[in-house]
Amino acid sequence: MAQGKKQVDLKVDFKEVGEVFKPMHGIGQPPITGLSNAMFHYLKEAGIPYSRLHDVGGWLGGGLYVDIPNLFRDFDADENDPASYDFVFTDRIIEGLMNAGCEPYFRLGVTIENEHMRKSYRIYPPKDFEKWARICEHVIRHYNEGWADGYRYGITYWEIWNEPDDCYVEESSAMWKGTPEDYFRLYSVAAKHLKGCFGDSIKVGGYGHCGVYEYAQDKDLCGIDHEDTYIYDFTISFMHGFFKYQKETNAPIDFFSWHVYDNCHKSTRKDFCNISEHANYVRRILDKYGYVNTEHHLNEWNLHTDVRHRDVPLASAKTLGFMLMMQRTSTDVMCYYDGGLGYSPYRTLINPDSGYPYRTYYAFMMYNTLYKLKNSVATQSSDSHVFVGAGVSGRKAAIVISNVNDESVHIKTYIEGFDITDIQVCRVDEGHRYTVTGEEDIKEIVIPAHGCIEIKLWNLKTDGERE
């Protein structure tokens, strides 16, 4: 082994097949450019399964997209009249997503108002909860049942609002200007109405929980200081109040959504591996309240607030490593925040100037290689910051590895249960951008600091097919 390289042992056993790969590579808003869907081909090429439609179109949703006040502009109008709705621009996004094979994950509510302290517009509770629920009903009918010259897309996930739990802190309440009890009742009214209309043909949930950072505080992970007391107080109070209210009113929760960012708490800044504990905590709380069949979705996440340049290998390595790690938790769906175009530090997939992907995008392509194979197999890494996933489908298999270490690693791979006759190695690192490298020996591999590697395997003895 070359001097200075850290040795890591990886074991992959293709005989030990586990659960299917879950859709951990969803995104937030899609890469729209004005009214153009020209960049949506990137969603198809990376097999992005979901695009969560929150904060779409900029300030107040650009006045055009997705938000209920954009779709139903006069709350006093007749909610049963198709003429009361304006679907034109949102239709354009939904059509583009469906054509790209990326299912919309539809947030029923409003866009964040980051300048709410100057003036708030749409983040107050609806003045009539029952009517708001009926408006949402007709939005769903438009996209799933053809109502108002609509579509029959069968969109699955319908999320009621986003981050209403920010209401406890006035200076931070950019999403909900009502009380916690106001939101609890809105959710209960809307969820019961929508499930009554559509039954199991849709999944209804919420509420885009700000984050379970209080778990890290309770457990004192990494010896952190308990400086974010306000986060502890409002998130834990709101979440437990929400579940208690929904149980008392017999409201359905098909999925519970939550968020995490690495700039919100010391534990996640220090080491994103701790977020797997957050997922376990969410699952335990759901089970505690009897929601044992309720999915839980991490539908906003970003680990790049410490990455100053969008195209650095560290961003792709952390993204891929995180998806591989969360696949092993009870999390059912993830959506990265976000896939939009622009210069926000959170938008690290597509370069808005060149129109070409940043390195982070290729992490989604690598995860999708496993996702397409469906079946995960047993893997083991001797280093907690070298992440590995592997999958198999018939005579095709793949191994994907992310090195989040700040140094290169010399990997020895031990593979069992698959007769390899052909391989293809692809790399993302400082010198490669999802580049096929032509390597043939995968028993010993060097991966540079913050590098990712994808190894496709084939058994061609009786099957001459190869991607």
CA 447 – CA 451 distance, rounded (Å): 6
CA 65 – CA 58 distance, rounded (Å): 9
- Looking at the structure, do residues 325 and 399 belong to the same domain, yes or no? no
- Looking at the structure, do residues 396 and 351 belong to the same domain, yes or no? no
Which pLDDT does position 227 carry in this prediction?
42
Which pLDDT does position 461 carry in this prediction?
72
Find the domain containing 236 and state its range.
Answer: 22-373
Are the CB atoms for 190 and 235 separated by under 8 Å?
A: no
Task: Give the DSSP per-residue string, 332-388.
Answer: -EEEES----SS-TT--SB-TTT--B-HHHHHHHHHHHHHHH-EEEEEEESSTTEEE
| R_g over Cα of the chain | 23
State the CATH number of the domain containing residue 363. 3.20.20.80
CA 370 – CA 397 distance, rounded (Å): 8
**Where is 93: in which H helix or E strand?**
helix 88-99
Q: How many domains is the chain built from?
A: 2
- Looking at the structure, do residues 351 and 450 belong to the same domain, yes or no? no
- Report helix, strand and coil shares of the chain as percent, to nearest 5: 35, 25, 40
Which pLDDT does position 34 carry in this prediction?
76
> pLDDT higher for 275 or 456?
456
**349: Cβ–Cβ under 8 A, 6 or more apart, which residues?**
27, 31, 42, 336, 339, 357, 358, 360, 361, 364
- Looking at the structure, do residues 337 and 454 belong to the same domain, yes or no? no
How confident is the model over 188-230, as pLDDT tens digits? 999 999 999 999 999 999 999 988 876 554 444 333 343 444 4
Q: How many Cα atoms occupy the beta-carbon half-sphere of 118 within 13 Å? A: 3
> pLDDT higher for 305 or 161?
161
Torsion of CA 325, 21, 415, 14, to 10 degrees: 140
pLDDT mean over 230-252: 83
Structural tokens at position 106: 């539809």
Which pLDDT does position 58 carry in this prediction?
84
Which pLDDT does position 62 carry in this prediction?
87
- Looking at the structure, do residues 70 and 10 belong to the same domain, yes or no? no
Q: Supply the pTM of this predicted model.
A: 0.93
pLDDT mean over 118-135: 96
Average pLDDT over the chain reads 90
Which pLDDT does position 231 carry in this prediction?
47
Among candidate residues 111, 186, 106, 109, the one with its CA nearest the CA of residue 142 = 106
Which pLDDT does position 35 carry in this prediction?
79
- Looking at the structure, do residues 302 and 427 belong to the same domain, yes or no? no
How confident is the model over 362-383, as pLDDT tens digits? 999 999 999 999 999 999 999 9
- Looking at the structure, do residues 154 and 260 belong to the same domain, yes or no? yes
- Looking at the structure, do residues 356 and 407 belong to the same domain, yes or no? no
Structural domain contains residue 467: no
